[in-house]
Chains A and B, each alone.
Chain A
Amino acid sequence: MLDMFSYPFMQYAFIASFFISVLCGLMGVFVVARKTAFFTHTLSEISFSGASFGVFLGTNPIIGMLIFTVLSSLMIGTVGSKVSRRESSISVFSVLFIGLGILFLSLANSQSSYATNILFGSIVGISLNNVTTLVALSILIILVIVLIYRKLKYNSFDDIGASFNSRANTFVSIVFLILLACTVSVTAQIVGSLLIFALLTIPASSAKYFVHSIWGMTLLSFLFSLIGTWVGLYLSFITNLPVSFFIALIETIIYIIAVLYDKVTRI
């Protein structure tokens, strides 16, 4: 078992998974409380589209990703979160941005593998550079969340109460969406958007059935992400099957256990 750590790419994958779990624990709890899970999914498609645009312009794809995701977050934040939760507007967004992504890729006619990697990226293909980026992003997000923590938790866990009794709600929502946009764009190019969507939503959705405080849910979501990614990496190493599959499977099992636990304890 230990011989898998003799490969640098496996070491990086384990370290990166740790920081991705930190990010997903922190952000996931608020994503789930704000009921913006599907917007998160849309964001990963928007970042695919943005990356294609970057390729088309001939600049670094990450610039295109950040421009697209941050702009759409600003838009959603200003229009209001109700619109972003509406099923039809999510479909419209997804379809439009996947379409745009394909258009830019065909116009660019080169390096398309980079952009398609965003949809189906792999956690075992990452470099030391990627790890550094993840660490920096984690620190940035922790700092910003600490700064707006009280308003963010009021606004996320009691949006109606906060809308009357707390100020700067729109500002807090926009800051949160921008953080989410950065998380999705930076991590999606490293591990793929499927995995990020899974890790941002499933561990936090499961955690809320076991613990009932924000700190508790953050810690448990982090642990659920970490178990999923580390066990997934190990299983993938010994079976030679894709990591994403194992992670998705483990997270789903955790969620099923959580729902069953809730059913049993409610009786």
Chain B
Amino acid sequence: MKENKQPLLSVNNLNVAVQDRTLINNLSFQILPATLTCVTGENGVGKTTMVKAILKNFNKNNAVKVNLKRSQLQYVPQFRNIDNDYPLTVKDFISLGLQHSIIPWLSKREKALVSKVIKMTNLEALAKTPLGNCSGGEQQRVFLAQALVSEPKLLILDESTASLDKEAKFLLLDMVKQVIKKTHTAVVFITHDPVLVQTYGDYDLNIYNHQGTISKIKGVK
């Protein structure tokens, strides 16, 4: 890709704070297209808070420089309150992510896009199932698919594998890797799981003792 050298996101000396408590000092890192960056660190070091700080400062100052429109960044939050009688089908839930147009019905192109994403995330068999009837692993795939229909250039996954069993974790990450390969989307993946970081990550942004350090993961070709 021609744009490969230019970072999608540059964070420069960002201070991440909750109220008046600083969690991370002078954080600086860059995200390149078509890479998977894992954000690691203990509970409470400020991983999610960091993402929220990035969203809040989105191109507002020098601390967060983003080479994208806001709609090209999708954040998949850790928790969503889906009750087991949640009515919408998987397909309709995924379509909620289509926000580029204001016409109430979906265009041909949008319908094709939804089908493509459903195929990519291996949800064809579940497309007409109400989301409330899906398992935790299936729901995470649906959340990923909803983010993908807006054709993001940068995708932030917040602990998407936290409540999944081993098999579902690898399944989801395999899918994320496929997406990166096909669409050149950059992915920032917040996780606790060292095995996943080693298996799938290109970069590791480790947050420890109020400092963030980014490093290339060994063994990545």
Contact = CB atoms under 8 A, between A and B. Distances in A.
Contacts of A162: 96
Nearest to B73: A165
Interface residues of B, number: 29
B77 A164 contact: yes
A165 B75 contact: yes
Contacts of B81: 160
Contacts of B85: 208-209, 262
A154 interface: yes
A153 interface: yes
Interface string B52-77: 00010000000000000010001111
B89 interface: yes
User: Is chain B's interface secondary structure helix, strand, loop, or mixed overall?
Assistant: loop
A213 B92 contact: yes
A212 B128 CA distance: 8
A86 interface: no
B92 A214 contact: yes
Contacts of B74: 165
Contacts of B103: 150
User: Is chain A's interface secondary structure helix, strand, loop, or mixed overall?
Assistant: helix
A217 B99 contact: no
A160 B80 contact: yes
Contacts, number: 65
B146 interface: yes
B87 A164 contact: no
B130 interface: yes
Given A149-B104, A164-B55, A165-B147, A154 B96 contact: yes
Contacts of A33: 87
A162 B74 CA distance: 10
B97 interface: yes
A147 interface: yes
Interface in A108-155: 146-151, 153-154
B112 interface: no
A157 interface: yes
Nearest to B98: A150
Interface string B40-56: 00000000000000010
B89 A158 contact: no
Contact of A161 (B77, B87, B88, B89): B77
Given A165-B75, A208-B87, 18 more contacts: A150-B101, A151-B99, A157-B93, A157-B96, A158-B93, A160-B77, A160-B81, A161-B80, A161-B146, A164-B55, A164-B77, A165-B99, A165-B150, A209-B85, A209-B87, A212-B92, A213-B92, A214-B92
Interface of A: 33, 146-151, 153-154, 157-158, 160-162, 164-167, 208-209, 211-214, 217, 262
25 contacts: A150-B99, A150-B102, A150-B104, A151-B99, A154-B96, A157-B93, A158-B93, A160-B79, A161-B80, A161-B96, A161-B143, A162-B96, A164-B55, A165-B74, A165-B97, A165-B99, A166-B99, A208-B85, A212-B89, A212-B92, A212-B130, A213-B88, A213-B89, A213-B92, A217-B87
Interface of B: 55, 70, 74-77, 79-81, 85, 87-89, 92-93, 96-99, 101-104, 128, 130, 143, 146-147, 150
